[in-house]
Structure 1
């Protein structure tokens, strides 16, 4: 019997080749793609590093030239035009507050935008709220603003009412101010995107009955951007 007539001849001549015996162009193509993606990764990483270095250099240059400083805020006076505690534990109040703003920067102006927020809190509950007027504060200037705040039918619980009565007898009313001030900075002729100053102030008032002005025993404000 000849080889071609042997029934095992066709199978032995056409069996699948082992993985290691595939044509070389398959492995070359894989190697090419691998090198291409690796080169793209390295190039992208280098571009990101250059971009990060450029940002750092720009930031250092900005700070060196303009020397930015945080503005300062303080509550200068506090007037109570109305403060009524109902028999059901609700409080209605109206305050007039003088807020002093200081821009210590020599080359940076501040635009105070219209959508600001000021809240007065007692024992964690907001008694009244208001907003800062929109205005521009030039560099190295001090401005005192009059802010009106009001709140009606604010519910206090029994513990808060008891604590409030005790504080009124002691003549020391602790209040907490939360102030969010959206601003834009003027640097030369350029105007920056919007940022928000978060001002938090703790005050201790001498009472809640005076219509001419209340003595502020303690005041402390912190500012974060």
Structure 2
């Protein structure tokens, strides 16, 4: 005796799965549309950083091409958004010279930045007997004798954005601040680095999120 297969039930399941897939796809499109419309209306902007000043407390190039340096920098961050808050989950500050890192990482503690708020940090950025490339050692010694040094202060970290109760995923943030720091007046006849002097820079930084 043969058993007849019921094609009706198989076709019904396929139609049901198809309807569920269509509904799920429509819901995903609606959610994405709401997200993009909200994002467009709020017009989110990246935070703005300014390197306000720098103070040199130590600078010495020694053989075999080692650098010991100590700076205190003042950095301000402003949230330009009126409806978006920013979580700075992790920020590392360090100095580079000719694309080579010359200090350790200095950690800025996590903080929440509200709408239109400004945060100011004054971290010490330093390194002791940091090995540097020979050509950078010669260039640093020349800068020292000339009375000024062109550093780049960098901040790398992770941020999240908050809109109401919604908090975004983490994004990487990269901040680059050009810092031309004088060592003093080289025409004054004073050799070496003049330490403990705060130099006003007011240099805008580039921000990439």
TM-score, normalised by the number of residues in structure 1: 0.70
| 1:52-79 deviation digits (Å, cap 9, x = unpaired) | 3421223213432x33222100110111
Matches within 5 A, 1:63-142: 63-64=40-41, 66-113=42-89, 115-128=90-103, 129-142=105-118
Task: Give how far 1:142 is off.
Answer: 2.1
Contact residue 182 and residue 194 of structure 1 kept, 8 A = no
CA distance in 2, matches of 1:169, 1:84: 12
**For residue 36 of structure 2, what is the aligned residue in structure 1?**
59
Task: Give how far 1:50 is off.
Answer: 4.1
Alpha-carbon RMSD across the aligned residues, in angstroms, is 3.2
Matches within 5 A, 1:1-225: 40=17, 44=21, 47-48=24-25, 50-64=27-41, 66-113=42-89, 115-128=90-103, 129-188=105-164, 190=165, 192-208=167-183, 209-210=193-194, 211-214=196-199, 216=201, 219-225=203-209
CA distance in 2, matches of 1:205, 1:74: 14
Q: 1:178 to 1:48 in 2, by over 3 A?
A: farther
| 1:6-63 deviation digits (Å, cap 9, x = unpaired) | xxxxxxxxxxxxxxxxxxx99x97xx98997698568636633541342122321343
Contact residue 174 and residue 202 of structure 1 kept, 8 A = no
Q: 1:39 to 1:121 in 2, by over 3 A?
A: same
Q: 1:197 to 1:220 in 2, by over 3 A?
A: farther
Max Rg structure: 1
Task: Using the TM superposition, name which of 135-144 and 97-106 deviates more.
Answer: 135-144
RCO higher in structure (CA 8 A, sep ≥6) = 2
Residues paired across the two proteins, number: 197
TM-score, normalised by the number of residues in structure 2: 0.75
Contact residue 174 and residue 207 of structure 2 kept, 8 A = yes
Contact residue 79 and residue 116 of structure 2 kept, 8 A = yes
